[in-house]
Structure 1
Amino acid sequence: VIDATEWSSPSVNEPVGFHKIAKYIIFPGVHQPGATQECEFNKAAWDKISARDQHLIELAGELRTFRAWRNHAYNDLFAYRRMAKGGNTMLRLEQSFIDAAQKAGNEWADKQIEGNAWFKKALNHQRKFQHDMSVYSKMRSGPGTRTAIGDVLK
């Protein structure tokens, strides 16, 4: 028996049984803020595929990613409720801890860009996207969204 766990999301943790061996469920996960879904092609092989088929493959990838995200988020809601009703104590990490983890991650990433132009380009692109989405998130946080999340999960 362990005191607490933060492994994945509720719908992934539940079938594994973490909620049965840990009283406390900690969220949000700070070690894995997102998952990568990819389908890789050899560039020469990709170039041989018609533009139409390339487009269809890209659309299939977008649809698969959307469905995976949607299903995962939906299943998480019900797993969270079952865990809470089953006697687990849900603990939200303190914002100061989340901020410290983000700061440490950013400091590590900043060190990686030294002498690595590709990483620097990718990191700058990622950070711009994160900034842009944080602005969007603040703009769209109305009734029924983040401001009401505590009530939604009950």
Structure 2
Amino acid sequence: MRVLLVSSGGGHLAQLLPLSPWWGKQERQWVTVRQSEVEGALSGESVVWAHFPTTRNIPNAVRNLFLSWPTIRRFRPDILISAGAGISVPFFITAKLLGISTVYIECLDRITMPTLSGRICYPLADVFCIQWEEQRKFYPEAINIGPLL
């Protein structure tokens, strides 16, 4: 299976790393932002560097939308998985246009308020995961996978 993992740095990336027993067995590529801690965490991985900052930055969202098309077409993933944040939106849009399955994992630390990326990606996601039952009021069709960290 070919997996495209799309994530901002910091806590968003940290929530995908515990899934390594699964994604470590797959052919994979990452799309994330170039930061020293990200480079260290993904050393040895195939990474496409996205435009940063991604949160509420319209010019970079457009740049990342234009980055998403050739990245997805070249890698041809079976599934795209993201834990947010803003970088997920352009990649989810392109994945949906190309008929690629998508999985979104809402942030661990947003229990009482949904994230902007989560609200945008919820209708685009084939599977939408939450980590707390309290998040269900914003995402009624979500699957509770429990805390990843």
Fold conserved between structures, TM > 0.5: no
Q: Which has the higher contact order (CA 8 A, sep 6+)?
A: 1
Larger strand fraction of residues: 2
Q: Which structure would you say has the larger Rg? A: 1
Superposition TM-score, scaled by structure 2 size: 0.26
Larger helix fraction of residues: 1
Superposition TM-score, scaled by structure 1 size: 0.26
